[in-house]
Amino acid sequence: MNHLIELLRPIVGAANVLTGDDLGAWETDWRKRERGKALAVVRPGTTKEVAAVVRACVAAGVSIVPQGGNTGLVAGSTPDASGTQVVLSLQRMHAVRAIDSANLTVTVEAGCVLQTLQETVEKAGFLFPLSLAAEGSCTIGGNLGTNAGGTQVVRYGNTRELCLGLEVVTAQGEVWDGLTGLRKDNTGYDLRDLFIGSEGTLGVITAATMKLYPLPSAQLTAWAAVPSLDAAVTLLGLAHQHLGAGLTGFEVMGQFALALVAGHFPQQRIPLFRDTPYCVLLENSDHESEAHARAQFERLLEVALENGCVSDTVIAENLTQAHQLWHIRESIPMAQAEEGLNIKHDISVAVSRIPEFVRVTDALLEREIPGVRLVNFGHLGDGNLHYNVQAPEGGDAVVFLREQEARINTLVFDSVQAFGGSISAEHGVGSLKVDKLEHHKSPVALAMMRSIKRALDPQNLMNPGRVLRV
């Protein structure tokens, strides 16, 4: 092992091979659920260096854990406890290489922070629409590795839909340059899509060519109180009808989720939530004018009020108010953390079936675990709920997690499967859901996935133990 470290130092520079006991930032996952031990943290600065590091590790038979901002929620980018794995941090590779205005693309390195990319292309007059709560620290490589979603999937799709090409270092240390920026290329298998969402188990994404969009002339945000999830689904249908492609965000938040924000962050003023079971946050992006966008919004909400699927609404009067409304939504995970340890579920179900899924699963959990508190919120526009479970009030959250997590996960995931859904919508599988995937993915699908893994990473050195067992 010491011989490998000595080989790595001249590749990336001695200052970029970190060893010892002060590696907690790389060895602990964001939720602090897992703490591993790395042989070393290696920080390459170029794709050539990444390739050389991979070749050295392969020759030594040492497994590699690619890592971006380490903001994942399924413990997929931290080392195991063996002390034998190399954490490959891409954070030094953060350049925005090029913006192609005519092609509406940007080529960016994997370690670029999402917010930095957003701000860079905005200065050039463009929109990069991927948006999520961790955008100030997550990186493009991590977004691609997990196929991140966020709040604008209803219009622009997941990270996969925003990517046109990749640069990848393979498990053998070769470089695949697929940064074409082409929107049409039917020359065989789509290698790009194999690596997106693979969580570093097939190779290391080092750069990507991503889609850009013109900046909208106006973005308006509305907050609506709805009497039920069925009403929220009805409102979503009306929003599609009245706003069309202008509908860029549609988030639902349960009353208890918002009550946690109100309790732990009292400085935030949350409208309408105390007298309704759910609130919805909508965003309308318009390429004509703010007046046109506001007229569309007002007509939509007028129809919704007449229909009865909305009981009251607030439209943000300016950008500051809009940011305040979105900040409420983004504060729910932080409020949960303040309330105590909790069990997170990132699930997807067909939009039409979400109300019934929640009714059935709520009743099941409340019957099986008296006093359980359900924190239900998420991206209703694309069928993705963060269906989270908080310990009963006054109970010991540590004991609750230890004694009930496996049982609750089984109850929720079995219900998701019964409704034809997925146990991971946007967070990935990581290490936390590997065993569950065995029960909720078909044997045929698992066999094909294992064949791909064995073909591209025959030594099982790329992030082993993540996504699936081989």
Model pLDDT, residue 71: 86
Same domain, 229 and 284: yes
**Virtual CA dihedral for 259, 342, 27, 68, nearest 10 degrees?**
-50
pLDDT digits (tens, 9 = 90+) for 169-195: 999 999 999 999 999 999 999 999 999
Report yes or no on 235 lying in a domain: yes
- pLDDT value at 393 more than 80: yes
Overall residue count recorded for the chain in this entry: 470
Instruction: Give the pLDDT confidence score for residue 146 in this predicted structure.
Output: 95
Identify whether residues 240 and 267 lie together within a single domain. yes
As a whole number, mean pLDDT of residues 42-65 equals 98
| Residue 465 belongs to some domain of the structure | no
Tens digits of residue pLDDT in 54-103: 999 999 999 999 999 998 888 889 999 999 999 999 999 999 999 999 99
Question: What was the pLDDT predicted at 74?
Answer: 86
d(CA 164, CA 399): 46
Residue 242 shares a structural domain with residue 183: no
3-state secondary structure at position 262 = helix
Do 70 and 159 belong to one domain?
no
pLDDT in tens, 252-266: 999 999 999 999 999
| Token couple for 253 | 């938040």
User: Which residues have CB under 8 Å from 430's CB, separation 6+?
Assistant: 72, 73, 74, 75, 76, 77, 199, 466, 467
Residue 370 belongs to some domain of the structure: no
Give the position of tokens 């006093």: 371
Q: Give the model's pLDDT for residue 366.
A: 95
Which residue is listed with tokens 């909305």?
A: 310
Question: 33 or 141: which carries more pLDDT confidence?
Answer: 141
Of 1-5, 12-16, 445-449, which range is least confident? 1-5
**Which domain-ending residue is among 61, 89, 117?**
89
Same domain as 199, residue 186:
yes
pLDDT at 424 over 80: yes
- What b/e string do you get for 129-141 counting C-beta neighbours within 10 Å, with b at 16 or more? bbbbbbbeebbbb
Single-letter amino acid code for the residue at 390? Q
Domain of 14, in residue numbers: 2-89
CATH number of the domain encompassing residue 328: 3.30.70.2190
Is residue 301 in a domain?
Answer: yes
Same domain, 70 and 119: no
Same domain, 77 and 116: no
Considering its fold, how many domains does the chain have in total?
3
Residue 151 lies in a domain: yes
Give tens-digit pLDDT for 280-339.
999 999 888 888 989 999 999 999 999 999 999 999 998 899 999 999 999 999 999 899
Q: Report the alpha-carbon distance of residue 141 to residue 168 in Å, rounded.
A: 10
Average pLDDT, the chain: 94
Q: How much is the pLDDT for 30? A: 82
The token pair that represents 332 in the structure block: 């729910």
Q: Which of 42, 59, 89 is the last residue of a domain?
A: 89
Domain with residue 115: its CATH number is 3.30.465.10
- How are the residues of the chain apportioned to helix, strand and coil, as percentages rounded to the nearest 5? 40, 25, 35
The answer to whether residues 135 and 196 belong to one domain is yes
By CB atoms closer than 10 A (0-12, 13-18, 19+), residue 225 is buried
Report yes or no on 352 lying in a domain.
Answer: no
Of 147-151, 203-207, 274-278, 350-354, give the lowest mean pLDDT range: 147-151
Helix (H, G, I), strand (E, B) or coil at 137: coil
Work out whether strand 64-67 and strand 85-89 pair parallel, antiparallel, or are unpaired: parallel
Last residue of a domain, one of 317, 333, 349: 333
Flag whether pLDDT at 432 surpasses 90: no
Residues of the chain above pLDDT 90, percent: 87
Question: Quick one: average pLDDT of 108-122?
Answer: 97
Q: Judge whether 277 lies within some domain.
A: yes
Q: Report the alpha-carbon distance of residue 287 to residue 213 in Å, rounded.
A: 11
Q: What number of other Cβ atoms are within 10 A of residue 442's Cβ?
A: 8
Instruction: Check whether residue 239 and residue 206 sit in a common domain.
Output: no
- Do both 48 and 63 map to the same domain? yes
**pLDDT band per the 50, 70, 90 thresholds, residue 1:** low
Q: Same domain, yes or no, for 228 and 303?
A: yes
pLDDT in tens, 240-252: 999 999 999 999 9
Residue 367 lies in a domain: no
- For residue 60, the domain's CATH number is 3.30.43.10
Q: Give the angle subtended at the CA of 60 by the CAs of 54 and 66, to the nearest 5°.
A: 35
pLDDT at 224: 97
69, 115: one domain: no
